[in-house]
């Protein structure tokens, strides 16, 4: 298939492009490089041994999108492009609603004009209504939704838009992939998470502490109702997540819009992650406890049964492998991808 990958130069997008190319799909990466590097395209080519078609453009740019669909016979779109920092979304909600929601609508209109009506959407576990007190059951796709920040709200809105679109026109087929917490890196050490500035997520922060770029990891709260008091999340290797997109292509044959959780089905605490990364890098990670962050849920993890039964997909890598691959990447790229 010919796949347009919006945001394909980003962390999850780049790993997904590797899996698509290795499976002999044709890929067009469409990215504005807001939070990505152009060097990523060379690294994807190096890993796969295949040329990468890259178009620099924004999902809010109708003319640029129309040009991509005119110049390339696109069969399906994998839509990663969007802003993703939870804290920034609270500070700048209009920016997030405009870019993520309006950008997706603009993309869908361009797809419709081109007669391309198959999409895999990069959603998030943040669409769920998080529990702040026990019990903490695994999330299934039919559990109540209720995001608690503008970033999660944009994902929820987009899911609804795509669901309504697929209901209005039977030619549309959409897979809504709800990611849990992707970490890790490609085993080559060439691709990995490389955020701009101070990282917002746990593992990129740990990685920078491990190579001496940051002095100490802040653990936000150690008094949660969890086994060791720190927050528990369902961490998934980014390559497992990328392969989930490959599996989701088969779901696009059935029509309609269908959500799928992509997670391992188990939770790891902040202290679990720190211990695993310490084993990977061979030295202790200095930490200090800071107050809880507002809105952080104590514990959540996925029930990924639907993805297993309908897509034939399950996560393969454990936490130690996730940290080993992340350490290999940051050790080879202490200043990020250049």
Q: Where are the beta strands (DSSP E) in the chain?
A: 2-6, 26-31, 53-56, 76-79, 118-124, 173-179, 181-183, 217-220, 232-233, 235-237, 256-262, 268-269, 287-290
Question: Is 151 annotated in the active site?
Answer: yes
- Per residue in 40-85, pLDDT (tens digit) is 999 999 999 999 999 999 999 999 999 999 999 999 999 999 999 8
113: tokens are 């004009």
pLDDT of residue 20: 98
69: tokens are 């669909």
Question: Is CATH 3.30.70.20 the classification given to domain 2-332?
Answer: no
Question: Residue 29 above 90 pLDDT?
Answer: yes
Could you say which of 11, 96, 151, 260 is catalytic? 151
pLDDT of residue 197: 78
Give the start-to-end residue ranges of the domains of the chain: 2-332
Separation in Å, CA 278 to CA 141, 181, 258, 330: 34, 19, 39, 14
- Per residue in 308-330, pLDDT (tens digit) is 999 999 999 999 999 999 999 99
Residues with Cβ within 8 Å of 275's Cβ and at least 6 positions away in sequence, in order, are none
pLDDT of residue 338: 86
Residue 287: Cβ-neighbour burial (10 angstroms; 0-12, 13-18, 19+): middle
Q: pTM score, two decimals?
A: 0.97
Please give the backbone phi and psi of residue 3, each rounded to the nearest 5 degrees, phi first: -115, 125
DSSP sequence for 205-232: HHHHHHTTSSS-EEEE-S-SSSTTSS-E
Pairing of strands 232-233, 268-269: antiparallel
Percent of all residues in the chain with a pLDDT value above 70, rounded to a whole number? 100
Inter-residue long-range contacts of 141-145, CB under 8 Å, 24+ positions, other chains counted: 141/178, 141/259, 141/260, 141/261, 141/306
Better-scored residue on pLDDT, 223 or 338: 223
Question: Residue 153 above 90 pLDDT?
Answer: yes
pLDDT of residue 296: 87
17-21: average pLDDT: 98
pLDDT of residue 43: 98
- Per residue in 170-213, pLDDT (tens digit) is 999 999 999 999 999 999 999 999 987 788 889 999 999 999 99
| Mean pLDDT over the full length of the chain | 96
Q: Are 315 and 237 in contact (CB under 8 A)?
A: yes
Report the C-alpha dihedral over residues 141, 59, 113, 151, rounded to 10 degrees: 30
């Amino acid at each position: 298939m010919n796949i347009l990958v919006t945001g394909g130069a980003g962390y999850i997008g780049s790993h997904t492009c590797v899996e698509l190319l290795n499976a002999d799909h044709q890929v067009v990466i469409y990215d504005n490089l807001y939070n990505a590097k152009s060097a990523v395209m060379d690294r994807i080519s190096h890993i796969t041994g295949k040329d990468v078609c890259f178009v620099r453009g924004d999902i809010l740019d109708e003319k640029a999108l129309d040009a991509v669909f005119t110049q390339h016979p696109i069969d399906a779109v994998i839509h990663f492009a969007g802003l993703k920092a939870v804290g920034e979304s609270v500070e700048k909600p209009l920016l997030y609603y405009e870019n993520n929601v309006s950008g997706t609508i603009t993309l869908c209109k361009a797809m419709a004009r081109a007669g391309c009506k198959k999409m895999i959407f990069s959603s998030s576990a943040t669409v769920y209504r998080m529990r702040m007190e026990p019990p903490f059951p695994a999330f299934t796709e039919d559990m109540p939704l209720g995001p608690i920040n503008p970033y999660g709200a944009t994902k929820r809105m987009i899911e609804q838009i795509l669901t309504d679109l697929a209901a209005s026109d039977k030619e549309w087929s959409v897979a809504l992939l709800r990611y849990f917490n992707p970490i890790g890196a490609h085993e080559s050490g060439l691709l990995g998470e490389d955020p701009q500035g101070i990282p917002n997520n746990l593992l990129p922060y740990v990685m920078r502490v491990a190579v001496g770029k940051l002095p100490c990891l802040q653990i936000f709260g150690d008094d949660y109702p969890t086994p060791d008091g720190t927050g528990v999340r369902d961490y998934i290797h980014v390559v497992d997540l990328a392969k989930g997109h490959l599996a989701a292509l088969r779901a696009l044959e059935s029509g309609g819009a269908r959500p799928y959780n992509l997670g391992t089905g188990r939770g790891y605490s902040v202290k679990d992650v720190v211990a695993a990364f310490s084993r990977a890098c061979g030295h202790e990670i200095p930490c200090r406890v800071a107050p809880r962050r507002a809105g952080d849920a104590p514990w959540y993890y996925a029930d990924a049964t639907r993805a297993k039964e309908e897509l034939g997909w399950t996560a393969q890598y454990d936490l130690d492998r996730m940290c080993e691959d992340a350490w290999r990447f940051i050790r080879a790229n202490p200043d990020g991808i250049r």
